[in-house]
Amino acid sequence: MSYGFKKSSMHQQAYNVNLGDQHDLEGHPGGEASLVPGSPGQEAEGWPEIVEYQEEFSEDRAGEDSGKFEEHTIGRRPEGANALWKTLQQNNVMSCTESPLTPTVSKSVSFRINPRNFLLEVQVRAWPGWLLVCHEGWNPALGTWICRHLGHLRLSHHKGVNLTDIKVNSSQEFLQFLPGSGGRLEDMWQHRHSCALGWVVSLKCSECGVQHLTSRIIGGTSAVLGQWPWQVSMFKGPQYLCGGSLLSPSWVVTAAHCVYSLPHMSSLRIFVGIVNRGDIVPHTGAMVEKIILHPLFKIHKQRHDYDIALLKLQTPLNFSNTVQAVCLPEMQQNFPQGSKCWVSGWGSTTSYVEYGSNTLQNALVPLISPELCNSSCTYKGMITPRMLCAGYLDGHTDACQGDSGGPLVCLDRGIWRLVGVVSWGWNCAKPHRPGVYTRVAVFSDWIHHQIRGKGTAAVDEEGGHLLAPLT
């Protein structure tokens, strides 16, 4: 990545993008997922399983103009893939300055878990303040959904707590969940002055987004061990490939363009808990059992749209102070423009180089609004709702080749959340060419669906229905 200089990244052999060589999902037979490598339905021995889900969809594609833009880097992989890129047509010419922040619309229902006693607290728009939840009528499936709503992968523990065992104010108010009481989620919470059974709900979600490092982070330089404990380094044999982020002991999220061509690889390894690449012993990292590409990634002519993939490890990792999971964004959470976030990776520290950094680098980058990043002075309409931009318009800090797949994290009330995945950009740290990241919040449902299976939905916030219990 380039700190005041360029985005960190390693540069390896050239990676030539030939869209004609891609296998369109549209040409695959329907039904079950096809496995790659080998012939459809077959998995080559020793290779990770790559799952490309066949899904029915119809999406209008924007028209293309006949002109070509300057060279741009399709990915942030170390191969330094440069190609001429066509842009989407854009009707509006936007201003090259940020617009004032628009007021945030409050959610109809908000959740939080008290870190001191793990009591669930709910805020409903109709009643002020945070209210405790009565245990009567409680459904564990709702607890699982709430944990996912808060950016955690799973519910670790739930129980009822006797009010006589905790200290509550005499003015404390309560809510009771009644799933059959209305069509909207907020209508399912009924206000109570007391709980009939005298018990309230306590929840504990899977831990994530916690730094056990006590030293202060001062950015734009080398990271220290434990600073970004979810940072993943992906190797193909002795060759550095991409970065990634730990979501749980068994799951890694990265950019789809990092692993798209992996059917021909048998030596993919995942390394965690390191900051110096020299400490890595080839072929000793965690092995990958399955690679799940987003089903819409390959079919788009814009190769960097839907640029996200999940890797399931063969053996769960052991967490420690230097190996931890990062949290996903809360449901419907949007960090405002100007939010100070951090990007990390082993990529190039300057453009047009043949090597990357030996030590994990980190840099502070502010989020840029989609309107500005899509304006005529930046990416001219190429930024889709699945992308976000971060960096500086003067170009002094950025991610670069080799940082691909790595994390862009933002601190939210003491919790680090994975807001973006390093995806693409035009060169590195160039003026008016900020880094482009996969917008993780858009893919939260997809991530939960792949990790936990099809029985994941518990509450539809729009329809307010309590669905089948989650497993």
Catalytically active residues are 257, 307, 404
First to last CA, the chain: 40
Q: Which of 285, 283, 266, 287 is nearest to 274 (CA)?
A: 285
Number of H helices, E strands in the chain: 4, 25
Distance CA 156, CA 147 (A): 9
**Number of other CB atoms surrounding residue 115 within 10 Å:** 10
Query: In this structure, what token pair is assigned to residue 281?
Result: 């012993």
Distance CA 410, CA 417 (A): 5
Q: Which of 306, 313, 145 is nearest to 232 (CA)?
A: 313
Amino acid identity for residue 384 in this structure: T
* Inter-residue contact 408 to 422 (CB < 8 Å): yes
Strands 174-177 and 131-133: parallel
Query: In this structure, what token pair is assigned to residue 174?
Result: 């309560």
CA 46 vs. chain centroid, Å, equals: 28
Q: Which residues have CB under 8 Å from 170's CB, separation 6+?
A: none
Which residues sit opposite 252 in a β-bridge? 246, 311
Distance CA 265, CA 260 (A): 11
* Inter-residue contact 279 to 345 (CB < 8 Å): no
In the block, tokens 């940082």 appear at 403
Q: Which stretches within 253-375 are classed as H helix?
A: 256-259, 370-373
Amino acid identity for residue 337 in this structure: Q
Query: In this structure, what token pair is assigned to residue 237?
Result: 């044999």
Helix, strand, coil in percent for the chain, rounding step 5: 10, 30, 60
Q: Which residues have CB under 8 Å from 100's CB, separation 6+?
A: none
Q: Which stretches within 84-155 are classed as H helix?
A: 140-149
DSSP 8-state secondary structure symbol assigned to residue 102: P
Distance CA 465, CA 188 (A): 9
Distance CA 262, CA 56 (A): 25
Distance CA 59, CA 61 (A): 6
